[in-house]
Chains A and B, each alone.
Chain A
Amino acid sequence: MTGMDEQGHPETEEAMAGELKHMVSEPLLPVEKALIAVSLLLGLGLLGLLLWVSRTFFPAP
């Protein structure tokens, strides 16, 4: 058992442990930066809206 799949990628825990130890850094792509930024901004932006809807239409009894 080599711990590699048909493409030569490790697919066992032992082989993955080695991969984790020697992982090469991949720079953040613009699309990843956009995903992070949009997600955070949407989260903060929706906070006010959802809070207003909660208190207006679903008030605490």
Chain B
Amino acid sequence: MRMKHPTHSEDGWAVLVGLILFALTMTLLGGIDSLGWVVVVREWTALEHALAPVSPAYASLAPVVSLVGTFFLMVGLFSLAAWLMGREVRSFVPAFAVLVAVSYACLVAGHHAWIAATPDKRAAHGLSWSMGLTGEAGYIFALAAGLVVGNCLPRWAAWLKPAARPEWFVKTAIVILGAALGVKAAGATRLASAVLFRGFAAIVEAYLIYWALVYLLARTVFKFSREWAAPLASGISICGVSAAITTGAAIRARPVVPIMVSSLVVIFAVVELLVLPWLAQACLYHEPLVAGAWMGLAVKTDGAAVASGAITDALIRSRAQADLGLTYEEGWIVGTATTVKMFIDVFIGIWAVILSLIWVYRIDPRPGATLPLGEIGRRFPKFVVGYFLTFLVVLTLCLTEQGWLAPLTLAAREADVFRTLLFTLTFLAIGLEADFRRLWAEGVGRLAVAYVVSLFGFIIWIGLAISWIFFQGVQPPTVGG
């Protein structure tokens, strides 16, 4: 099997699709509610109450019309982007349509009041008991569905694969998330600036300590060559797939090296996604932003890290409400995880330049060889720019004109419909991609052992310590508090 060199063209399209959806919600500033008709999933005990248009202005619209319209908008927009990207549209469109449909099924199931309702909402649903997982339980259903299909139904998984693009989905969601966090930050600028700086500080610390330790372990204990050890150190220690690939380019490794590392990253990211949010709920419900930063520092790949942040957000808010009587404002935990991850993505570029300097001039000098700065620049994650752009635009608008806060809050709620669906698609696609049979493939065992020892031996715990050092005592706002 000849490996193809990975392409990052989805990154730019994530920004474009995210900005299109963001721009459509911004028409509210001109008094035009162009996306108020899109469907939002609500907690329910009777199925007919599960769906509704997101804006009160469209309250009279039948929920099924809203659902069908949203479905076709998403399928149309992503199919157009896939076509412009040069993808095989005939295989993409039906597979993506199925993924969207399954995602909505998971979201609706996850919003059943028995599963989703937090203690304060049980009375409204006429319940004496509920699991209190919030509607984000839909993400867990999506991940489970993806894992079952990906590992037990290989023919279905192969059919869905052209449209299962977790990094594209989550990067688009992150661009949209920037707008929602901008609205939140406007009401808590000191907290937002504390999260931004402390997130930056945490990743500087994590990167410098993680990378050196994993590289040392890979080279001395596991006896990997430099070509393998550098992408492995970046893949395990920081941001998974993109870090492994960027490092591979920086040290001029053969393309197949970071690809093999990346296949492990995806598998173990799922393991982390299934374990760490519950651990955070059990131990960190009184320190929500420590938990958010921990997800950003410990869970590899953008998709799994932000997805873990979303689950942790739901689990901790539920636990804090039940045990502490505190209702934390939604979104700060996932926002902290996302912010930390964004800085990591920026730092990858800086680290890649440092590594390429060392490799070109000291470790592997070749006649006429130059720094692969163009390649590193091409791999710089554009969605980071999209995230900060939507964040800063919305924050500036909110702080400039007090009267815009209400329409921008509604705009953020409308954008959140797409963010929620894209997160669900991300969970589903992560499950589909995580082929656990890879662990038994010949030759992968040594890589996998190095990965497990590093990840569970110290990466996760150093990440927790750094998160605690920088975020302990930083509390998100409480609702009605």
B is bound to A? yes
Q: Once the chains bind, are A50 and B201 in contact (CB under 8 Å)?
A: yes
Q: Does B1 contact A12, Cβ atoms closer than 8 Å? A: yes
Cross-interface CB contact of B260 among A1, A5, A13, A47, cutoff 8 Å: A13
| B474 in the interface (beta carbon within 8 A) | yes
Cα distance, A42 to B257, chains bound together (Å) = 29
Contact A36 B212 (CB under 8 A): yes
Q: Is the Cβ of B363 less than 8 Å from the Cβ of A43? A: no
B197-208 Cβ-contact flags toward A at 8 Å (1 or 0): 110010011011
Asked, given contacts A28-B220, A58-B193, whether A11 binds B198 with beta carbons under 8 Å apart, the answer is: no
Q: How many residues of B contact A (CB 8 A)?
A: 49
A14 to B191, CA, bound (A): 51
Say yes or no: A47-B212 contact (C-beta < 8 A), given A17-B441, A23-B228, A61-B190. Answer: no
Q: Which residue of B lies closest to A23 (CB)?
A: B225
Kindly list chain A residues whose C-beta atoms are within 8 Å of the C-beta of B211: 39
Complexed CA–CA distance, A40 and B462 (Å): 13
Report yes or no: B190 in contact with A12, Cβ–Cβ below 8 A.
no
Once the chains are docked, how many angstroms separate the CA of A32 from the CA of B446? 22
> Residue B205 contacts which of A29, A31, A47, A57 (CB distance < 8 angstroms)?
A47
For residue A51, which residues in chain B have a CB less than 8 angstroms away from its CB?
201, 469-470
With A39-B208, A50-B205 in contact, is A31–B443 under 8 Å at CB?
Answer: no
B219 and A16 contacting across the interface, CB-CB below 8 Å:
no
Q: Chain A interface residue count: which class? A: 35 or more
Chief secondary structure at chain B's binding surface: helix
* Beta-carbon contact of A32 and B219 below 8 Å: yes
Do A32 and B224 touch across chains, with their CB atoms under 8 A apart?
A: no
* Known interface pairs A60-B473, A61-B188; A13-B3 also in contact (CB < 8 Å): yes
Knowing A12-B1, A13-B256, A54-B470, the reply to whether A36 touches B188 (Cβ < 8 A) is: no
Q: Judge whether A46 and B204 touch: CB under 8 Å.
A: yes
Closest CB in chain B relative to A5 CB, distance in Å: 7
**Cβ of A45 to closest chain B Cβ, rounded Å:** 9
Residues B212 and A60 in contact, CB atoms below 8 Å apart: no
A37 to chain B, nearest CB (A): 8
CA of A36 to CA of B198, assembled, Å: 24
Which of B196, B254, B446 makes the CB contact (< 8 A) with A9?
B254
Q: Which residues of B contact A10 (CB under 8 A)?
A: 256
Interchain nearest-CB distance for B363 vs A (Å): 6
Lowest 9 CB-CB distances: which A-B pairs, in order? A17-B443, A43-B208, A39-B212, A50-B201, A20-B443, A43-B209, A60-B474, A58-B197, A61-B190
